[in-house]
Amino acid sequence: MSSPSRVRNFLPATLSTTLLVGLVTSQATASAAHRKPNFIVVFCDNLGYGDIEPFGSTLHRTPNLNRMAKEGRKFIHFCVTAGVCTPSRASLMTGCYSQRVGMHFNERDGWVLRPVSRYGLAPDETTIAEVLKQQGYATAIVGKWHLGDQPEFLPTRQGFDWFFGVPYSDDMTERFWKKDGSKWPPLPLMENEDVIEAPCDRNGLTKRYTERAMEWIAKHKDEPFFLYFPQAMPGSTSTPFSSPEFKGKSRNGPWGDAVEELDWSMGVMLDQLRELGIAEDTLVIWTSDNGAPINRGPNDFRRGSNRPLHGRGYTTSEGAFRVPSLVWQPGKVPAGTVCHELATTMDLLPTFAKLAGANQSETQKPDGHDVSSLMFKNDSTKTPYEGFYYYHQEQLQAVRSGPWKLFLPVTPVRAHPHFNAQRKPQNLLFHLVNDVACANNLAGKHPDVVARLSKIAEEARKDLGDKGRRGSGQRKRGEIDHDPQPLLLKTGE
Ligand SMILES: [Ca+2]
């Protein structure tokens, strides 16, 4: 390392010995100290478990994700906390179930926030961006927010230095909404708190997001940074968008085109991290906010695939909750490995907090756990979850513990992954490892497991509530005390 004699060669002879000693010491400290890792979370919208090659797709070509899997770790039991956008995103941001932070349901918007809503994530909830900001991180969100579209709820008020993206889903375009008579504005593309384009060109979103995200990374390469990158695609329309370079090129229509452009985007990012010399310092997570909506036909993949998992997005099925997840940091995450343990998006906040050196008491106690061992170690570390809950809005529908998932005998509020006219509500117990497709109900064979999981379900209800019952650990969602306004392009001047 730097010996005093080498350093002296570069110093003017007039420098005092004291200064020299000080300089050498600080250099030594700087090189010895580990720099805090950067964090990037790529959060696709409605991308299914079976939509990318590392998770078995033979339809979509995703060479960059293949490379990412080869260089990193695949998480095959990685879950979100809801089958739809808003509650799933609330969990990633806060490390908590959406029922705890009040983002699981409201009377006006239903399950996901709609434009011009008076509700949003409460400003006093601690977000992952705020935790990292306190640790000296530069923070940005490029992409879809969907945790409130009023100024009080925008990402710029929740710990992000910079926001470039759309405040809600790509299908929430200009219209008169019959339900409450509100008028939704043309889909706004925003920079910080200003609308910069409306309606925004959805075809160009993936490309534009990628370019802007890369510029931001390059600008912040010398300091620790957190980039939250919630991609718009494949998104909520039946015909996802892509740029001219990808349109019509895949073997699966607009859905495939969009997925292949997302793969391109990931490749650009990984290349750039290497070129900037910060790949080893950057933990990158690729995942999705919920499973694909999927079409009904067994071989119709025009709205994605959750294969080999059971069920569609927007439910409490495995296909809705388990998402294709990759973790990458060369030299830190063991290459070409697979994690079979349960981890969730709620774990990102406590894990990043720990890796950034944050004191856990600085954060509201999250429901997630530090899973850095599951990411970095080559050992038999087990999941920290004793129980994991599958809620549909206010209703607890299933719980998981170890390899077991128990569907509770409840009358569902809407479509249920297993209950219908033929199969009435009853205990359904599936072994998620031996029975990937959830086809064999083992409730009759394992009454002890049913009893144990039923007990876990009751703990969930007490804390986080259930249909018609409030939980003791539920906090209030954010709400403004004046009329919400549409996000409009400023004209004139
Ligand atoms: Ca979604």
The catalytically annotated residue of 60, 146, 310, 418 is 146
Strand 282-288 vs strand 38-44: parallel, antiparallel, or unpaired? Answer: parallel
Q: Which residue has the tokens 């019509």?
A: 248
Q: Which residues contact 413 (CB under 8 A, 6 or more apart)?
A: 392, 393, 395, 467
Q: How far is the CA of 380 from the centre of ligand 1 (A)?
A: 32
Q: Which residues contact 493 (CB under 8 A, 6 or more apart)?
A: none
Residue ranges with CB less than 5 Å from ion ligand 1: 45-46, 85, 289-290
Convert the pLDDT of each residue in 166-223 to its tens digit.
Answer: 999 999 999 999 999 999 999 999 999 999 999 999 999 999 999 999 999 999 999 9
Q: What is the pLDDT of residue 10?
A: 37
Report yes or no: 360 and 350 within 8 Å, Cβ to Cβ.
yes
Convert the pLDDT of each residue in 237-294 to its tens digit.
Answer: 999 999 999 999 999 999 999 999 999 999 999 999 999 999 999 999 999 999 999 9
Q: Which residues contact 354 (CB under 8 A, 6 or more apart)?
A: 360, 370, 372
Report yes or no: 48 and 304 within 8 Å, Cβ to Cβ.
yes
The question of whether 339 is a catalytic residue gets the answer no
Q: How far is the CA of 152 from the centre of ligand 1 (A)?
A: 23
User: What average pLDDT does the chain have?
Assistant: 93
The catalytically annotated residue of 85, 96, 200, 438 is 85
DSSP at 3: -
Convert the pLDDT of each residue in 337-368 to its tens digit.
Answer: 999 999 999 999 999 999 999 987 666 789 99
The predicted model gives 386-402 an average pLDDT of 98
Q: How far is the CA of 79 from the centre of ligand 1 (A)?
A: 13
Helix, strand, coil distribution of the chain in percent, nearest 5: 30, 15, 55
Query: Three-state DSSP class for 12?
Result: coil
Q: How far is the CA of 258 from the centre of ligand 1 (A)?
A: 15
pTM of the full structure: 0.92
d(CA 344, CA 51): 19
Above pLDDT 90, what percent of the chain? 88
| Residue 341 bridge partners (DSSP) | none
pLDDT band of 11, cuts 50, 70, 90: very low
d(CA 451, CA 341): 23
Q: How far is the CA of 235 from the centre of ligand 1 (A)?
A: 6
Q: How far is the CA of 320 from the centre of ligand 1 (A)?
A: 10
Q: Which residue has the tokens 């990412």?
A: 68
The question of whether 79 is a catalytic residue gets the answer no
pLDDT band of 32, cuts 50, 70, 90: very low
DSSP at 55: G
Q: How far is the CA of 184 from the centre of ligand 1 (A)?
A: 20
d(CA 91, CA 492): 40
